[in-house]
Copies of this chain bind each other. A is one copy, B any other.
Amino acid sequence: MTALRPLRPSSKVLPVDARGHNRSLVLQTLYREGTRSRADIARETGLTRVTVSALVAELIADGLVVELGQREETRPGKPATLLDLDRSAFVIVGLDLSEHSVFTGALLDLDGAISARAEVALEGSTGDEAVEKVEALAARLIEQATAPVLGIGVGSPGVVDLGGVVLSAPNLGWNGVPLQSILADRFGVPVLVANDANAAVLAEHSFGGADSDAMLITIGHGVGAGLLLGGTPLFGSRFAAGEIGHVVVGTDGGAVCACGKRGCLETWLSIPNLIDRLEGEQGAARTAVLQEAGQRLGMSLAPVVGALDLSEVILSGPTELLDGPLMAATVETLRSRTMAEFHGSLTLRMTTLGADIVLRGAAVMVLSGQLGVS
């Protein structure tokens, strides 16, 4: 008889786990700050020079870190030996399954730069056929790799659990597809699978300058969101966090949605619906349609921004539709519906990463999972 309900048991920590953490810490310092000496790393991490030397020796043996020779800068004392990540030592395979009619993929280096691309047309494939197309795409990219593959990252539409099983992706006809283990078995490298919007918000955090509390809205065939809270992605109790497309917005009806309800956010904001509404409209009428959509988005987001105290909301999707009256109306609605004094510094902007955002997010997943850097 105890007053507390059981929590999932947290696990023991051995000294060897601490070692792994400190190894990642050294790696992260080099990754983020760039060229550094062993003594620099010791100062920045708080570890001793001795310990850093041992960890660096291990990283050099693993081929992750290289010595670059002595520091040029002239100052007293023995010159430092500079180190850096060997940013060409590995490549990462990133896959984006979120587009409507095509799977895209790329080879990325440790900095997230894209060195090769490939894609495969979906042609209406679903189920196993679609899985085979994912495998073929990955195989094609791995063939082109000029360095060992660190891992495969996948941004998939739908609901994905922590083990990389796609629980539900209606467009692809997937229900409980264990994509992670399928790819891991086939290619023998680490595989990480997540929802596309979650991947995107990670990319925006790592490469796009987003805060560690941010929300990224993907607007395309559907409407979804990825949430980053305290630097950690939010998955939700049923792995369905960010599924905001089918939340009803407003009290005044709205169009009937594919899901059966009336006035879902997607009926206002998804690109197909938006294009339908804009059909033939010009000038002020066109602006009015975009403003209405923006207001609806703002109304939907206001309670979330207030409840989570978000400082940054980012939009991803077709710039020509989103970046203008729509976004202006969203920010105006957000400000007028939340506490201005608290949210004075709330920013709303387009992603800076364009169409590659999911691919680069998939790479971040691998970097963070395999190297502990992110």
Contacts and interface: CB of A to CB of B under 8 A. Distances in A.
A247 interface: yes
A251 B18 contact: no
A3 B207 contact: yes
Interface centre among A13, A211, A250, A336 (most CB of B within 10 A): A13
A285 B181 CA distance: 59
Interface in A95-151: 111-113
A21 B32 contact: no
The contact size tier of chain A is 35 or more
A248 B302 CA distance: 8
Q: Which of A231, A242, A246, A310 has the most CB of B within 10 A?
A: A246
Interface in A11-40: 11-15, 17-18, 21-22, 25, 28, 31-34
Contact of A212 (B7, B11, B234): B7
A113 B5 CA distance: 15
A241 interface: yes
Contacts of A206: 3-5
A6 B21 contact: no
A275 interface: no
B18 A32 contact: no
A79 interface: no
Contacts of A310: 236-237
A250 B251 contact: yes
A188 interface: no
Contacts of A1: 34
Interface in A65-87: none
B237 A211 contact: yes
A304 B302 contact: no
Interface stretch (A43-51, A56-64, A171-179, A320-328): A43-51
Contacts of A14: 18
A239 interface: yes
A11 B22 CA distance: 8
Number of copies: 2
Contacts of A311: 237-238
A244 interface: yes
A307 B261 CA distance: 18
A206 B2 CA distance: 11
Given A2-B111, A252-B251, A12 B47 contact: yes
Interface string A241-259: 1111011111110000001
A182 B45 CA distance: 32
A62 B49 CA distance: 35
A112 B4 CA distance: 9
Contacts of A230: 234-235
B308 A236 contact: yes
A329 interface: no
A65 to B, nearest CB: 14
Contact of A243 (B11, B212, B215, B309): B309
Contacts of A312: 237
A267 interface: no
20 contacts: A2-B31, A2-B32, A7-B374, A11-B25, A11-B46, A12-B47, A13-B22, A213-B237, A229-B229, A229-B234, A236-B308, A241-B307, A243-B307, A244-B307, A247-B339, A248-B302, A301-B303, A304-B304, A304-B308, A308-B308
Enumerate the 7 nearest inter-chain pairs by beta-carbon distance, A residue then B residue, closest first.
A236-B309, A248-B337, A213-B237, A247-B306, A237-B311, A241-B309, A13-B18
